[in-house]
Amino acid sequence: MKKIIYLLSILTLTFSCKNVAEIKGLVDDVPSVVEPLITGEFQIEEEDFGAVIELTGVSKPVDVIFKVSGTKMVTDDTLLIVQNRHKTNTFMLFSLPEFKYLKSFGLIGNGPDEFLYPKLIAGTNSISKCLILNKSKMYSLDKDLNLKREKILFPETDSPYDSREISYLCDSSFLFVDTTPNGKEISKLTFAADTQNISHIFNLSFLKGHKGWATYIGDFGINKKRDRIVYAYKYFKRLVFTRLDGSDARVINFRAPEIEKKDIIRTLGPDNITHFWGISAQRNYVYFLYSGRTPLEVGEEFKSGKHYIFVEQYDWNGNPIRKFKLDQWGYFCVNESETKLFLASVTDENPFFVYDLPQLVSSDKKLQ
């Protein structure tokens, strides 16, 4: 009976994501049976990952010069799309595996079809390499690497900086994390003809007295085939897995110091531990960039020549799989085949490093 209920929910999701005229694409097939998500709160220890695996990156020099800062990256194994300022542009393209620079695009500015604080959207339709939101306007990068303006319009935000985290669900629906008076929540935006509807599906705020949006900053990803949403908090060692409709929440907690009740300025201060601050949501596993130190501690390590950061790997039911230690500090993504990790380093004159992910020997770790 439980399997029938899960199957019906997936069929409902599939039929609610039929194509609309604005973005032409296909919805990925979903499995006939989705593994149930065991609900509740679970406590995890660092030992549950097993021994930390230390990885050494291979430097990949490129022909362009730019400063790595606030970088976002996505890849489809043959192309690396990098959101990082290069001269007057917002995005760069590199071919893989040789890291050949192809071009920059996305002129920085506030004019028509210029970009100011754009969002590189996780997930894409079948005819584009990526989707980009700039204020309310949606763009796609087609297979010929040309930027195309789409017809759909997102709701405007009150702030000049768009803090929403957005994932593509299907051609008529997106999931996104937005700021609320009480913190953060996950919502679903659905387009139908000339109308749009926003439904709130999961509240990410969980502490009394912590109502500021800064407290609940984090990373957001989805997996359509596995019917999963995941959210990782920056200032808590805490993960939340739910189904795509926001139901059946599974919360993963670690034994880690929690932040005190502070205002926004103090919450964002350098004396708070940074936990999760990057995500790469892939078909089989989800990967998180993890610091575990305060920015002040990291700064002191930089002065002594210590540059490292961790990557934690989980399955889509929240089970810890492996933990890696990288010999550089920066921003990352994992390729589609989940065999390589790309890192944009903030500490090396050559910005890109490639790490080979060891073949997974065993993935039978389960939370009880």
**What was the pLDDT predicted at 77?**
83
Q: What average pLDDT score do residues 201-210 get?
A: 87
Other C-beta atoms closer than 10 Å to the C-beta of 267 total 20
- pLDDT of residue 26 exceeding 60: no
With a pLDDT cut of 70, the percent of the chain lying above it is: 85
Determine the pLDDT at residue 279. Answer: 97
For the stretch 262-293, pLDDT in tens is 556 566 678 888 999 899 999 999 999 999 99
Q: How confident is the model at residue 365 (pLDDT cuts 50, 70, 90)?
A: low
Instruction: Assess whether pLDDT exceeds 50 at residue 250.
Output: yes
As given in the structure block, the two tokens for residue 229 are 């949403």
The pLDDT tens digits of the residues spanning 123-168 come to 776 678 899 999 899 999 998 999 999 888 898 887 777 888 999 9
Among 30-39, 196-205, 342-351, where is mean pLDDT lowest?
Answer: 30-39
Residue 6: pLDDT band with limits 50, 70, 90: very low
Task: List the CATH code of the domain at 2-49+70-276.
Answer: 2.120.10
- Summarised one tens digit per residue, pLDDT across range 171-203 is 889 999 998 888 899 999 999 878 899 999 999
Give the confidence band of 28 by pLDDT, cuts at 50, 70, 90.
very low
Is pLDDT above 60 for 71? yes
pLDDT at 333 over 90: yes
pTM of the model: 0.87
Residue 328 pLDDT grade (very low, low, confident, very high; cuts 50, 70, 90): very high
Mean pLDDT score of the chain, rounded to an integer? 85
